[in-house]
Amino acid sequence: MTEMTDVTEHDKTVEVHDYDVVVIGAGGAGLRAAIEARAQGKRTAIISKSLFGKAHTVMAEGGCAAAMGNANPNDNWRVHFGDTMRGGKFLNNWRMAELHAKEAPQRVWEMETYGALFDRTKDGKISQRNFGGHTYPRLAHVGDRTGLELIRTLQQKIVSLQQEDFKATGDYEANIRVFHETTITDLFKADGAIAGCFGYFRSTGTFVRFNAPAIVLATGGVGKSYSVTSNSWEYTGDGHALALRAGATLINMEFLQFHPTGMVWPPSVKGILVTESVRGDGGVLRNSDGKRFMFDYIADVFKDLYATTEEEADRWYTDADNNRRPPELLPRDEVARAINSEVKAGRGTPHGGVYLDVSTRLKPEEILKRLPSMHHQFKELADVDITKEPMEVGPTCHYVMGGVEVDPDTGMSRVPGLFAAGECSGGMHGSNRLGGNSLSDLLVFGRRCGAGASEYVDGLAGRRPAVVETDAAAAVDRALLPFTTAAEGGENPFVVHLELQKTMHELVGIIRKADEMEMALKKLEDIATRTRTVAVQGDRKFNPNWHLALDLRNMLLVSMCVAKAALERQESRGGHTRDDFPVMDADWRHVLLVLSALGEDNVEMVRKEQIPMRPDLLDIFEMDELKKYFTGEELGGHRADQGERA
Amino acid sequence: MSYWAHFRVWRGDSDKGELVDYPAEVNEGEVVLDIIHRLQQTEAQDLAVRWNCKAGKCGSCSMEINGRPRLACMTRMNTFAEDEVVTVTPLRTFPVIRDLVTDVSFNYTKAREIPSFAPPEGVEPGEYRMQQVDVERSQEFRKCIECYLCQNTCHVVRDHEENKEAFAGPRYLMRIAELDMHPLDSADRQQAAQEEHGLGYCNITKCCTEVCPEHIKITDNALIPLKERVVDRKYDPVVWLGNKLFRRGEAANKNR
């Protein structure tokens, strides 16, 4: 079963399909994009790296942020916009943050028409919960399994569209088809525009090509480049790397979100997510001395917004209008750094985390009702009963703020016909994403990309770029390379992967230093050589080491982007903390680091200025707050400088 | 803390296969999936297995461990004695693709045969109003992670290929119950459950409930109530007459 196969024997047959829009990725963003493209009358293919319905979106626990005002009528899109910009330290693409805040409620309500069943308020509306960085209770949720509800609802909506097509044509897959367990390894362009893509079916190892003028990337994140991550095997930065190799650009890649609360024990589950809802519902963080340490870590920019005593913090849960929120609910970057500092100072738990305790805060039956899957997770995996004892938690690589640079309104990258939505797109979250803003992001921009792709296809008026056959042949050879190398005695891809993860974890982790990142970039060069020559055992049928060998080149390219941008940005902001430049610097706020590919495994970077924020959006904030983030000359357009314009 | 366990893993494809013995290192706190990953990284690099979240939330790593349908990511090694042979085989009810990976397309086919949520007419997005107590029944079923362990275990199809055509299986009969109990769904589903999706094949042995990793009471809370609704309808002469006279009577009947 494991004998080497001579590459000359390989079947190079390629199955070919024609579609209007191909969506790569079957998580929330991909499915919402596909629903929209199909609604616009486009024949749509959905490429799912795993089985349909297993995407990483299921891991989202807390909820979906949308200013519906069901729990607090003071909430509206302006407040949500403000929280999002504040959370991202004002580095966000403000147009994306604006669209997101305005459209999220519609997108959530739409999910109910697809059959979603959110938890309810007393008057029968969608219930909304508190979360870090959100001024009001804002997250639509279903216990602590909101992501599962979203993915299942979107999956079932696709099925319902297929049923409609079946009634009309006798074919379920007439207009929308899901290609299960299919991985895309290359995009094709012709005359500078998207022409199609190429990949393989996992179950058979045979090849497939899609001729399509529009492609939506919705491949999620890059966490698998790190040793401790909440991300699954699929999160190998495929969309990021495909975009780069097709000539698109990435921004904000230096900003990675380390979720403050991942499991730390037992070792085999290290990194698995512990939802922020635990804190939103009253859970507190304590160090080994039993101290609620977050009060010591309220940064200047947040001083007026968070409680300074335990008494005030505790009152907030019942009277949010007259008290400030507990500092456990600071944005994720702040909490992750605080935990990191406590552990470094020797006040950590036996397994190197801190205590997250909800058992002394809520009654057992309340915990079981609000946090059932956390209870289940700790009981089954760590023998810990969270209704009776505290959890041990620590930071875990969770989300990449960086991604494909896109037009905010349509989601199109700088490559005509190439779109990106959800985690693999960049800009929306700036330097740090607020919890709950991911599920809403993928609904809002998934839909916008589906619409953008459809409009683009209409604009072509039938003149579709044709895939160049030599490009198609090259894609086949690249995919088979790990088998060719096998004959020459290359390395085990698992070994190279572990080395890559270790490098990124240790040298480009939560706290960064110039010399360490320089060392990381050197190591990545070496890993690049080894990645080109990894060799695989066995044949092409559902062969995990072949899959990893191909994913590895994506992880490598993305890691280079992260390391290069992180070394360049000489300040600390959001998901980027420099030991050697510990302070946020307003001169860096308006600078974007834009990355593009140089061949298969190198990248180049240029600086680009952010577009200045529209004055009416600037006016949402008080001048005093803006001054903490912006340089003086950037604030000329604010109402305070114009005598409070009418 | 660590010890060497004796693993016996089924290797092969749809044509042929065999159980292969592997010695495997086990560390504190590990689950069966960890050991399978260690085998992949060492002596069985091409060992095929499905997995995603590794936290019991996605339902990908379903397999049979010492003959019991389980999620490999939620089966802790300390549930076995150190000298016990741990035998890992693919789900029996579905055709093998390779090693521990099976062709589960049966489930996707069945999913597509269940009519989808039918939104209430004239209720705009944002105007849906439901009470928590009313959504909770369906919410229990929406906890389903589609691991297909119930589908794999159900004796109606486990050793009876011939029943697959007529029987949707516990997961999809539960989906019908979920929609039937949805406070705002406007379709009638009870008759079809019996006549088109094989509810009658279920003889409530509760095997599905027993293997559910989400602890959903599939039989007690979904299948039995659905059976009762079907029976009520069939034998209630008033309902029967009402249905004959007014087609809309069906929707009114559904949420009793």
So what's the ipTM on this one? 0.92
Question: Total structural domains in chain B?
Answer: 2
pTM: 0.93
Could you give the percent of chain B with pLDDT greater than 90? 85
Q: Is residue B92 part of a domain?
A: yes
| A49 at B interface, C-beta within 8 A | no
Comparing A57-66, A339-348, B66-75, B231-240, the range with the smallest average pLDDT is B231-240
Candidates A59, A108, A145, A148: best to mutate against B (most CBs of B within 10 A) is A148
φ/ψ (deg, to 5) at A400: -105, 120
Q: Are residues B145 and B60 in the same domain?
A: no
At B250, is the pLDDT very low, low, confident or very high (cuts 50, 70, 90)? very low
Q: What is the CATH number of the domain that holds B41?
A: 3.10.20.30
A259 a catalytic residue: yes
Q: Are residues B180 and B234 in the same domain?
A: yes
pLDDT value for A161: 98
At B50, is the pLDDT very low, low, confident or very high (cuts 50, 70, 90)? very high
Can you say whether residue A363 is alpha, beta or left, with left for phi > 0 and alpha for psi between -120 and 50 degrees? beta
Average pLDDT over residues B150-168: 96
Task: Give the SS3 label for residue B97.
Answer: strand
Q: Are residues B60 and B110 in the same domain?
A: no
What pLDDT, in 10s, does the model give residues B192-213? 999 999 999 999 999 999 999 9
Neighbouring C-alpha atoms within 13 Å toward the C-beta of A480 = 20
User: How many residue pairs from chains A and B have C-beta atoms closer than 8 A?
Assistant: 178
- Picking from B44, B46, B112, the nearest residue to A163 by CB comes out as B112
Q: Is residue B37 part of a domain?
A: yes
Of A222, A162, A195, residue with least CA distance to A418: A195
pLDDT value for B233: 75
Q: Are residues B134 and B88 in the same domain?
A: no
- Of the residues B46, B73, B102, the one at which a domain ends: B102
Q: Are residues B223 and B114 in the same domain?
A: yes
**In this structure, what token pair is assigned to residue A567?**
């070394």
Rounded to whole angstroms, how far apart are CA atoms B237 and B234? 8
Which residues of chain A fall below pLDDT 70?
A: 1-8, 486-487, 643-646
- Of the residues B68, B102, B136, the one at which a domain ends: B102
Rounded to whole angstroms, how far apart are CA atoms A298 and A308? 9
Q: How far from B195 is each of B180, B189, B198, CA to CA, in Å?
A: 15, 10, 6
Q: Are residues B234 and B129 in the same domain?
A: yes
Q: Are residues B56 and B129 in the same domain?
A: no
Using a 10 angstrom Cβ sphere, with 0-12 exposed, 13-18 middle and 19 or more buried, the burial of residue A320 is middle
* Positive/negative CA dihedral, B175, B180, B186, B187: positive
Q: Are residues B75 and B12 in the same domain?
A: yes
Of A543, A51, A550, A271, residue with least CA distance to B61: A51
Q: What is the CATH number of the domain that holds B217?
A: 1.10.1060.10
pLDDT value for B243: 64
Q: Is residue B225 part of a domain?
A: yes
Q: Is residue B191 part of a domain?
A: yes
Contact residues, B window 59-98, toward A, CB-based 8 Å cutoff:
59-60, 74, 76, 97-98
At B87, is the pLDDT very low, low, confident or very high (cuts 50, 70, 90)? very high
Rounded to whole angstroms, how far apart are CA atoms A545 and A281? 42
Rounded to whole angstroms, how far apart are CA atoms B224 and A332? 45
Between B135 and B41, the more confident residue is B135
pLDDT value for A469: 96
A429 a catalytic residue: no
Domain span at residue B225? 105-238
Of A381, A174, A131, residue with least CA distance to A262: A381
Q: Are residues B33 and B130 in the same domain?
A: no
Q: Are residues B129 and B205 in the same domain?
A: yes
Report whether A436 contacts A64 (CB < 8 A). Answer: yes
Instruction: Round the average pLDDT of chain B to a whole number and report it.
Output: 92
**Cβ–Cβ below 8 Å for A382 and B29:** yes
pLDDT value for B245: 66
Buried b (16+ CB within 10 A) or exposed e, B124-149: ebeebebeeebbebbbbbbbbbbbbb
Q: Is residue B246 part of a domain?
A: no
Q: Is residue B249 part of a domain?
A: no
- List of domains in chain A: 256-398 (3.90.700.10), 612-646 (no CATH)
Residues of A in contact with B146 (CB under 8 A): 53-54, 152
**In this structure, what token pair is assigned to residue B79?**
């549930």
Rounded to whole angstroms, how far apart are CA atoms A236 and A247? 19
Q: Is residue B254 part of a domain?
A: no
Average pLDDT over residues B17-27: 96
Q: Are residues B70 and B110 in the same domain?
A: no
DSSP state of A56: G
- Picking from B29, B111, B139, the nearest residue to A117 by CB comes out as B139
Contact residues, A window 241-300, toward B, CB-based 8 Å cutoff:
265-269, 272-273
DSSP A161-173: HHHHHHHHHS-TT
Residues of B in contact with A495 (CB under 8 A): 41
Q: Is residue B155 part of a domain?
A: yes
- Picking from A124, A172, A382, the nearest residue to B130 by CB comes out as A124
Candidates B32, B42, B104, B117: best to mutate against A (most CBs of A within 10 A) is B117
Instruction: Round the average pLDDT of chain A to a whole number and report it.
Output: 94
Residues of A in contact with B62 (CB under 8 A): none
* Positive/negative CA dihedral, A420, A424, A429, A430: negative
Q: Are residues B12 and B95 in the same domain?
A: yes
Rounded to whole angstroms, how far apart are CA atoms B256 and B249? 12
Residue with tokens 């959890």: A391
